[in-house]
Amino acid sequence: MSLRKPRTEWKLAELAEEAGVSPRTVRYYVQRGLLSAPNFRGPDTAYGEEHFIRLKAIRVLQARFLPLDAIQAELQRLSLDELRTLAESEPTPAPPPPPLAPSPVAGSHSVAPPAPGRRPTEMNHYQRWELMPGLELHVSDTADAKVRALAERVRALIEEAMTKVPAGLMTNSGLQIPLQGVEVTGELLGGHARVRVRQRYRNNETTPVEAIYTFPLPSDATLSAFTMTCAGRRIEGIVKEREEAFQTYDDALAAGHGAALLDQERSNVFTAQVGNLLPSEETVIEVEFLQAVTAEEGSVRWMLPTLVAPRYIPGDTSGDRTGHGTAEPTSSVPDADRISPPIGQVNYGLRMDLLVDLGREVVVESPSHAIALTKESPTRTRVSFSRGEVSLDRDLVLSLRSPDTSAVFTPLVTHRQGDNPGTFALTVVPDLLSLATAVPKQEVIFLVDVSGSMDGDSLPQAKAALRLCLRHLRETDRFNIIAFESNYHSFRPQPVPFTQRTLEDADRWVDALQANGGTELLKPLTFAARTAPDGVLVLLTDGQVGNEEQILRAVLAERKTARVYSFGIGTNVSDALLRDLARQTRGDVEFIHPGERIDEKVVAQFSRALAPRVTELQVYFDGIEGVELAPAELPVMVDGIPWTLMGRYPRPGFGKVTLRGRSGVEPFALSVNVHFPHESDRPAVEKLWAAERIKGWLDASLTGRRADAMKKRIVELAVSHQLVTRYTSFVVVEQRTGDRRTSGQPETRVVPVNAPAGWAMFGAQSKDEAASTGVVARPGARGGGGYVGGPPAQMPPPGIMVPASPSPIVVAGAPPPRPSAPAPASAAAPSRSRREVAAAPEKKKGGILNRLFSEGGSSEAESSKSFSGVMDYLAMDSGAEEEVAMEPAPRKQRERADSGAEGLLGQQLANGLWAASGAGPEPVRQARATALALLELLRQGITSSHALHGAQVKKAVEALLSLAGQLSSAPEVAELALGVAWLVAAGPRTRGRIEQAAKPWTSLSGRLGNDTELRQHVDALASR
């Protein structure tokens, strides 16, 4: 490989292409110090022959498995001629030079530590390196170059963790980071939200710096503007093709101008680079985005993520770095270095000033933060934080509900200016109850995340949600549970029927789950899709993984018609994967934050999973024309869920839009009269349409020339509407003159982020956390393996778990890993990830969701005579007694759980009935016990329409209707059961079935039309 070339100068893009790397990698090497800054500035900036030689030498050393810190040491040690010789050599693996430090312990070059379960042999000698007091690294004499390079990497990481200031937390002079604070402003309106995120930077150093900040935005947000304000000037950014935008930014910095770049790394992860920040000068970066706002049952939910949380990064290290994250690129996550900001104790916070105006009076609440409300008019409310500024360590969640529970969005929103085509967004809320047929048998697979990131409050929430889900299955259903971390194991090898016995076994199995390890979601999710290709997959996770696209592709390849319904648990859910799974499998997703009752969300989610739906939808326009529809493939329409169609209309006019499809085996049709106006000023609709159109294109699985053509189409539409995508970026340049124009390469400062609230694996808890929400991170939690970002400053480095001996590398002094919780059955699972870290001491029991069944009962009448009578009648069989005995919760907590509605519902059997002791046939005893239980629930105001417990009431009513034919020998029990069923059933469809079942008993059927008389009748029957 000869380096003798006729040219000695390259532009950035030319040098990168010649060396086989990206321009961003070249710039990263300059910032890292592996390459020197180019000599020439401005448009004439050029890289010389030494840059090219060093790049080729880096490639050779990388092929020998050396990490960048070791490569940097080599580049400093070798002369230019030696580097030239190295660059011309073949990039084949070879043993690297001995580590520069630390030195071997004297007299200890042939130490053979005993391997667990094996006797040391003469062939198993190790070289010992003391890393720090109490921690040694042992490397086998027979280790190959790759293993030795790995050992050097371990040594370098530990040395860096113990001796260096975390990158980006503080400057070398001990000054604060450039980012001073973040502010959220904007408006939540009737049809959409328009939100601005302002980042305020200040350079407290004496030389120019470049700030790099990785932050999240909602995955369904449409970025609409990017501005930079400095020296009293506000400069608008423009959208360009991604690499073109980077080149513009890099040229501006090289020429001494100010510039800012906004890249999209994932649909919900962005990186802002603000270059040439001048000493003592403040710069404000503003990102504006739009979101469609819809309501369900009168409630609007708006969520803003505040930090990019650490996530599991699978795969082997592979590829060149282009970002400053703490993780290396891997074969599974090639952009890991761009989505892994460092974790640190930060001094910047978040402020908020939002205007809520939905066109009518609303109630504004927040389960995540304490908020202050200012009424500006009957329909306008301004929202801020009660404490002024809060930590960016959890999602900001606002819940807006209308007192009259009516929809708060506009069904049809349009935009049209001049003679240009107009844009429309049509939203309907379908009422499909009248089309509902008998629900078919379901096969449900529950997947629960038990990784280290689920420690803290997340795992108790997931367990509570899982128990609720189980109790809404029917005996005709089949189910299985899969717990996953770095490995996965299942409740049963295959789905099993839902029975009382399997319900009790599943409860105990779920109780034993503990958090530990990494979030290896790919294999368990594909296993679930393979075992239930036409079923319902229920995923409970914090979603902190890096290989989202790989997971999505694998699930789609395994499933047939299976739908994925996800619960995003915790304070910092990476929602992009969960939303993509829901959208592409036609499922749904729900996000659960600390301070919210998850049981209501679980019930609502399960109701949606089993609700009537319309498939095979097609749209027809009559009298008007709709083109370029988005989404191009019409999504499934689910009962009661807002359904939106966007598109363009060439000409204004009046007409009708008709939707046709199938609900089960029945045809479906819905017509809506619409008016497409000549003039309308809602420009947000146009951007939302373009963004939805691009999402559909990005989902297309194309290769070759078609993929290139699609990328070009995406770039053209994104640039036309100024939208940021994975292929386009915002860039803004401040042209400087005179003393404000800099020279030289600015120092890079990487902005750290907070550890997520409630993540005990980081020991994270902000001061305002307990004061505002009462959520407390528990000490002593176990750290999960494979998470990048590192521990906060001043924390000791984690232990390193290595394979059992004989192994080429042994780390002495690390604590042994804590074994996973035992499970009754286990599926085939992959071996543990090499990225796992050792477990810390066991966490304390308890959590905000452990009191799930003890917080919703009556506060004054828990010991009422009627309730006591019902509880006395209900029998606890031996299986139930055994389950209570195994319950780890404190006795007082169990006693509270056994009182009120929650305690009563907790005794409902898998078949929907209640058990009872005494004489008589079992169907009669169960029917009477169930009727008494429902009557007590009715006294507490709980019917089939109850938001939380309605599904269990419906299940009981269905069970009584199934028993009606077996009650002919006990007419009073039959009248009591069917009479109570009528009173608690809210739907006319169910009441019609009860009326048919009650015909043999005339004394009952004559009272069904008079609820007052019927209530007196059943009360009398219940007292006998």
Strands 126-132 and 350-357: unpaired
Q: What is the pLDDT of residue 347?
A: 82
- Average the pLDDT over 34-55 and give the result: 83
Looking at 128-132, 141-145, 1002-1006, which range is the least confident one?
A: 128-132
Placement of tokens 């739009």 in the chain: 290
Give the pLDDT band (50/70/90) at residue 468. confident
pLDDT at 820 over 60: no
Q: What is the pLDDT of residue 99?
A: 45
Pair of tokens at residue 835: 């990225």
Domain at 9-88, CATH class: mainly alpha
pLDDT at 53 over 70: yes
Separation between Cα atoms, residue 134 and residue 481, nearest integer Å:
42
Helix segments in 736-860, DSSP class H: 767-773
DSSP string, 594-641: TTS-HHHHHHHHHHHHHS-EEEEEEEEEESS--EEEESSSPPPEETTS
Q: What is the pLDDT of residue 543?
A: 64
pLDDT at 124 over 90: no
Q: What's the pTM? A: 0.63
Q: What is the pLDDT of residue 795?
A: 32
pLDDT at 120 over 80: no
Convert the pLDDT of each residue in 579-631 to its tens digit. Answer: 889 888 988 888 776 556 566 676 677 777 877 788 889 999 999 999 999 98
Q: What is the pLDDT of residue 841?
A: 34
- Average the pLDDT over 150-172 and give the result: 55
pLDDT at 32 over 80: yes
Q: What is the pLDDT of residue 131?
A: 67
Looking at 118-127, 764-773, 941-950, which range is the least confident one?
A: 764-773
Please tell me which residue, 209 or 700, carries the higher pLDDT value: 209
Looking at 534-548, 826-840, 997-1011, which range is the least confident one?
A: 826-840
Give the pLDDT band (50/70/90) at residue 42. low
Residue 427 forms beta bridges with which residues?
644
- Average the pLDDT over 902-927 and give the result: 88
Does residue 567 contact residue 590 with C-beta atoms inside 8 Å?
yes
- Report CA-CA distances (Å) from 67 to 64, 319, 321: 9, 12, 11
| Burial bucket for residue 122 (CB in 10 Å: 0-12, 13-18, 19+) | exposed
Other C-beta atoms closer than 10 Å to the C-beta of 159 total 17
pLDDT at 453 over 90: no
Looking at 143-157, 320-334, 821-835, which range is the least confident one?
A: 821-835
DSSP letter for 586, please.
T
Cis preceding linkage at 808, omega within 30: no
Separation between Cα atoms, residue 270 and residue 306, nearest integer Å:
12
DSSP string, 78-117: S-HHHHHHHHHS-----PPPPPSSSPBPTT-TTB-PPPTT
Q: Where are the domains of the chain?
A: 9-88, 314-348, 443-610, 911-1023
DSSP string, 648-678: EESS-EEEEEEEEEEETTEEEEEEEEEEE-S
Residues 6+ apart with CB under 8 A from 642: 294, 295, 296, 407, 409, 427, 428, 429
Q: What is the pLDDT of residue 780?
A: 29
Q: What is the pLDDT of residue 247?
A: 92
What percentage of the chain reaches a pLDDT higher than 70?
A: 73
Q: What is the pLDDT of residue 440?
A: 64
Give the pLDDT band (50/70/90) at residue 58. very high
Give the pLDDT band (50/70/90) at residue 389. very high
| Burial bucket for residue 5 (CB in 10 Å: 0-12, 13-18, 19+) | exposed
Separation between Cα atoms, residue 551 and residue 369, nearest integer Å:
33
Does residue 583 contact residue 615 with C-beta atoms inside 8 Å?
no
Q: What is the pLDDT of residue 117?
A: 40
Separation between Cα atoms, residue 226 and residue 219, nearest integer Å:
17
Cis preceding linkage at 95, omega within 30: no
Is 986 in a helix, a strand, or coil? coil
pLDDT at 889 over 50: no
Strands 363-365 and 192-202: unpaired
Mean pLDDT of the chain: 77
- Report CA-CA distances (Å) from 721 to 71, 220, 272, 293: 44, 16, 20, 20
Does residue 490 contact residue 828 with C-beta atoms inside 8 Å?
no
- Report CA-CA distances (Å) from 958 to 198, 459, 855, 912, 968: 54, 33, 27, 8, 18
What percentage of the chain reaches a pLDDT higher than 90?
A: 34
Closest CA relative to residue 312, chosen from 66, 577, 564: 577
Q: What is the pLDDT of residue 505?
A: 95
Q: What is the pLDDT of residue 531?
A: 95
Convert the pLDDT of each residue in 378-388 to its tens digit. Answer: 888 999 999 99
Give the pLDDT band (50/70/90) at residue 919. confident
pLDDT at 898 over 80: no
Separation between Cα atoms, residue 75 and residue 557, nearest integer Å:
46
Q: What is the pLDDT of residue 200?
A: 95
pLDDT at 457 over 60: yes
pLDDT at 843 over 80: no
φ and ψ of 387, to 5 deg: -90, 5
Run of H or E residues at 687: helix 683-698
- Average the pLDDT over 92-117 and give the result: 42
**Looking at the domain 443-610, which fold is it?**
Rossmann fold (3.40.50)
Give the pLDDT band (50/70/90) at residue 891. very low
Looking at 172-176, 180-184, 201-205, 508-512, which range is the least confident one?
A: 172-176
- Side-chain half-sphere CA neighbours of 539 within 13 A: 33
Residue 497 forms beta bridges with which residues?
478
Strands 536-541 and 563-569: parallel
pLDDT at 119 over 80: no
Other C-beta atoms closer than 10 Å to the C-beta of 375 total 11
- Average the pLDDT over 788-815 and give the result: 35
φ and ψ of 173, to 5 deg: -85, 0
Closest CA relative to residue 690, chosen from 239, 245, 216, 270: 239
pLDDT at 882 over 70: no
